[in-house]
Structure 1
Amino acid sequence: MPNQLNDHIVKSYDDERSRLTNEILRMGEMAAAQLESALDVVERRDDKAAERIIANDEAIDALEHEVSQDVMKLALRGPMARDLREILAALRIAADIERIGDYAANVAKRSRALNLAPPLPYTRGLTVIGQLAAKQVREVLVAFHNGDAAAAERVRAQDAEIDTLYTGLFRELLTYMMEDPRAITPCTHLLFMAKNIERIGDHATNIAENVWFLVHGDDALPPRDKRDETNTVS
């Protein structure tokens, strides 16, 4: 009888861990889809679709709440060191995904203001950065699902490419604003949108670092290349 009880406890714990992982993966997929939809409404200048994306952000927030509750259930079972890392990583990753959803919703919000001005030629550059960020989010979710620290490290390294593209778009938009004062307002919206996407890349990087932590504990990560030079643009 004691063995049956112990087996039941272990199975219940494993079921809850599996549920937690699936919730985080579903939450991450929703956030990546939010970003892709936001990029689409920027291209199509679709205010109604933008409003739907903004409203959908509540579903991601609700999932984060569920993740927090499930983490507490696991924590109350008296976990060992590896389990504690899973719990801590889950909380951090859920928080990063929630912020990714927020930034995607912010892009959709800004798109409505952008639609009040004539179309700009630089929305394509925004789409390129956004697609790369969405790819980064999806790849880091796979790394999390597989417990693959090497894949997470590759995702982490990709953030430098997003920084480079963001810096290039930032410089282009500043030049355009200096050449045509009428473009200042719409370009400012694009700058904020680009910064939101660059921050999504940062949060995907945070998730990658938590996958590393999950697998390797406090072992040091290799140095990361950062190429966001907008603070030094003159």
Structure 2
Amino acid sequence: MLERAWEWIKMRDTFEKELNKLHVLFAEMGMMVNEAISHSVKAFSDHDNELAQEVILRDKKINECENELESLTLELIALYQPVTTDLRDVITVLKASSDIERIGDHAVSISRATIKMKGTRRIPEIEVEIAKMGEQACVMVEQVLDAYIKNDEEQAYQIADDDHKLDNALESIRDKCLKFMQNDPKTVVSGSHYTLVATYLERIGDYVTNVCEWVIFLKKGEIVELNKDHEEKR
């Protein structure tokens, strides 16, 4: 009896160490993605192709991190067959890391747009709006990582509520780009790129909202739909 209890304690201790390793790795991945978004937005605003290229090259590390997280979570499930709260912990890391990796993909897309825009007609008014939108997206990414680390359900709800700001910004930028392109054919290429970048930023907000859902799932044990209007992007 005592021997079984001792084995259970040792297994439990090992599981908790492995689970903590998952959370640490997720946090590291989150910081890399947060930096990628920040740098991609800065590169776009500053017309900095060199910084944009750095974001693209560093994305490989983010992808490798997600692959490692996926392998570790599946291994943890196979070895320890966790249930209830423990299983929620593992599933949250698995699902949230996928959404965080997709945010990193959008940072790459923004960086590629920065490089492609070289030599096109610039529209300063639109670039100011995109810079503001980018700042909002960066704040949301930073906040959701904080909510995850703190397991803060209330903060997750508040962050998801802010997603409408990115939705509204996208609509505004689309409308203005369309008007510029109709009035000046030379802005068609740049206007198209601006619209794409704004779309990438809006989708970052959708993935942030997905992570908010996983933070709430970790706390409550149920899936709460916070992103219904953009379900096709999940």
1:113 to 1:8, Cα distance in 2 relative to 1, 3 A: same
Q: Show the counterpart of 2:70.
A: 68
Residue 87 (structure 2) pairs with residue 84 (structure 1)? yes
Q: Does the 8 A contact of 2:121 with 2:187 survive in 1?
A: no
Shift of 1:186: 0.7
Whether contact under 8 Å (1:23, 1:63) holds in the other structure is: yes
Decide whether the 8 Å contact of 2:206 with 2:227 is kept in 1. Answer: no
Alignment of 1:30-41 (within 5 A): 30-41=32-43
Instruction: Output one character per residue of 1:136-158: Cα deviation in whole Å (capped at 9) or x when no partner.
Output: 11111111111111111111111
**2:228 and 2:130 mapped to 1: Cα distance?**
22
Q: CA deviation at 1:164?
A: 1.2
Partner of 1:156: 160
2:113 aligned counterpart, secondary structure: helix
Q: How much does 1:219 deviate?
A: 6.2
Deviations 1:156-206 (A, max 9, x none): 111011111121111111111111111000110111111011000000000
Structure 1 residues 27 and 220, CA, compared in 2 at 3 Å: closer, same or farther?
A: closer
Match of 2:137 in 1: 133
Partner of 2:56: 54
The structural deviation recorded for 1:130 is 1.1
> Displacement, 1:5?
3.2
Instruction: For structure 1, list consecutive stretches of 5 or more residues without a partner in the other structure.
Output: 228-234
Provide closer, same or farther for how the CA distance between residues 62 and 225 of structure 1 changes in structure 2, counting only shifts above 3 A: closer
Paired residue type of 1:27: M
User: Equivalent residues in 2 for 1:55-204 (5 A)?
Assistant: 55-76=57-78, 77-121=80-124, 122-204=126-208
Unaligned runs of 5+ residues in structure 2 are none
Aligned mates of 1:97, 1:218 — CA distance in 2: 20
- How far residue 112 of structure 1 moved from its aligned partner, in angstroms, is 0.7
The residue number in structure 1 matching 2:14 is: 12
Normalising to structure 1: TM-score of the pair?
0.91
Task: Give the secondary structure class of the aligned counterpart of 1:117.
Answer: coil
Instruction: Give the % identical residues.
Output: 24
Query: Whole-Å Cα distance in 1 between the matches of residues 40 and 223 of structure 2?
Result: 37
Q: Secondary structure at the match of 1:119?
A: coil
**Contact preservation (8 Å) 1:157, 1:224:** no
Contact 2:134–2:201 (8 Å) recurs in 1: yes
Q: Distance in 1 between matches of 2:138 and 2:197?
A: 14
Q: What does residue 31 of structure 2 align with?
A: 29
TM-score norm. by structure 2 comes to: 0.91
Q: Is the 8 A contact 1:129 1:162 kept in 2?
A: yes
Decide whether aligned partners of structure 1 residues 220 and 55 sit closer, same or farther in structure 2, where only a CA change above 3 A counts: closer
